[in-house]
Amino acid sequence: MTLRVAIVGGGPAGIYAADNLIKSGTPVSIDILERLPAPFGLVRYGVAPDHPRIKEIIKALQRVLAHPDVRFRGNVEFGVDVKLEELREFYDAVVISTGAKADRDLGIPGEDLPGSYGAADFVSWYDAHPDAPQSWPLDARSVAVIGVGNVALDVARVLAKTGDEMLTTDIPQHVYEGLAAKTITDVHVFARRGPAYAKFSPLELRELNHSPNVEVIVHPEGFDVDAHGMEHIAQHKAQKMVLNTLTSWVGADPVGKPHRIHLHFAEAPLEILGDRDGVTTLRTERTHSPNEDGNVEGTGEVTDWDVQAVYRAVGYRSTGLPDLPFDERRAVIPNDAGRVLDLDGNPIPGTFVTGWIKRGPVGLIGHTKSDAAETVGHLLADTTETAWSRTPEDVDAYLRSRQVDVATDEAWERLDAHEIALGEAAGRTRIKVGDREEMLRVGRG
């Protein structure tokens, strides 16, 4: 028996699920259906372009795609080009791995003002996502970034660095022109809690201070570590390293670089102020940690910050999909260890989920691998042959009948080679193509 499996979503979670299926010893035939013309999800469209070392993971993912039992079918949108009930005609099992690409809200007044942005949207722009706009407003002088994770650091770093510094990366011309024209001098990063609870990775934080044009300023106000904070870092080695780096920067003498990243701790956002022309102020309240779980309370001390833009980097959120249940509160597809559950809590036959849309947007690549292994284990235990139209050619014929301009494995290979060639001509590793129609045209050869 050869199991036919559709994986909806071509990011790391979906590709790791394919890898687990291949290595299981069970004969499988796998199609990875991806909404974009290129694979790799947030590794391609969520990692900052000046972090090429992280993108080394693409080499491992590419090896999975190259396996003879795996096919990539891009530019295919679930719920638009093909429905769940139609996939069940072609596949014995369907694995949903569409990730989390929307921004979480802050839930404060003024969040919808012009000049208040979700970090995910900005990341999509500078990573040349084909659905992102070709331009981005960067005419502010001072901006705020709210959040204490690596995405917040990425956003702050890209906002502060010069366009020429970023020109060594894979950004296309329209992104370079936008970054080169920006007028930002100061980027203020705000954390609700104290420095002991910062979620930056140690390496990401240290890299913040590597630019010849950007100075990092850690403000002493709110930079307190109480007994609870000390207990917390004692249990988390990485956060102890982060605190050591931050402590070494507090009170450092300014060196006069033209751009500055300010780190503010124990400042909770209260309100974004402005008018129809845009943001003018971020209002925050000083906080303190009253108990051992690190939750904070306001002290009543309010500060207004003169900023002309606010970037919300407080986490990603998954969105629901057609014909599938969705838990709006947790922002995941309801599941039992990867088995998708209906509204009554019963498993839906042949339907599985993995990655962030399964567990929420937490964890690193190692978590994604173990997550995929769990889901695939249940898939292999539960699934039998049920699809009646079983060949890969049947799927391709169906998509042609729907007039879907499919980006095949060969199309991705052409696009990949084209981007590498563009980079070589400019002395870079790669230059991305950021326009969907151009990506499809290149893929067609």
Write the pLDDT tens digit of every residue in 430-439.
Answer: 999 999 999 9
Domains of the chain: 3-101+318-407 (3.40.50.720), 102-315 (3.50.50.60)
What is the reported pLDDT for 161? 97
Q: Which residue has the higher pLDDT, 360 or 54?
A: 360
| Residues 298 and 269 sit within 8 Å (Cβ to Cβ) | no
154-170 pLDDT, tens digit each: 999 999 999 999 999 99
pLDDT at 122: 98
Res. 52: pLDDT tops 90: no
pLDDT (0 to 100) of residue 253: 87
Does pLDDT of 143 surpass 80?
yes
Confidence band (pLDDT; 50, 70, 90) for 393? very high
Which pLDDT value is given to residue 385? 86
Q: Give the global pTM.
A: 0.95
Q: What is the pLDDT of residue 294?
A: 61
User: Angle of helix 227-234 relative to helix 237-249, nearest 10 degrees?
Assistant: 130
pLDDT category, 293, cuts 50, 70, 90? low
Q: Which residues of 152-180 are buried (b: 16+ CB within 10 A; e: fewer)?
A: bbbbbbbbbbbbebbbebbbbebbbebbe
Highest mean pLDDT among 50-54, 101-105, 122-126: 122-126
Please write the tens of the pLDDT for every residue from 364-382: 777 899 999 999 999 999 9
Residue 356 has pLDDT above 70, yes or no: yes
For range 250-257, the mean pLDDT: 90
- Of 16, 14, 34, 46, whose CA–CA distance to 316 is shortest? 46
What's the average model confidence in pLDDT over 191-210?
93
Q: Report the b/e string of 237-266 with b at 16+ CB within 10 A.
A: eebebbbebbeebeeeeeeeeebbbbbbbb
Percent with pLDDT over 70 in the chain: 98
- 74 CB neighbour count, 10 Å cutoff: 24
The helix (H) or strand (E) run that includes residue 376 is helix 365-382
The token duo for 144 is 């705020």
> Which pair of structure tokens corresponds to residue 298?
């306001």
Distance CA 375, CA 353 (A): 7
Q: Which percentage of the chain shows pLDDT scores above 90?
A: 89
pLDDT of residue 254: 87
The pLDDT assigned to 292 comes to 64
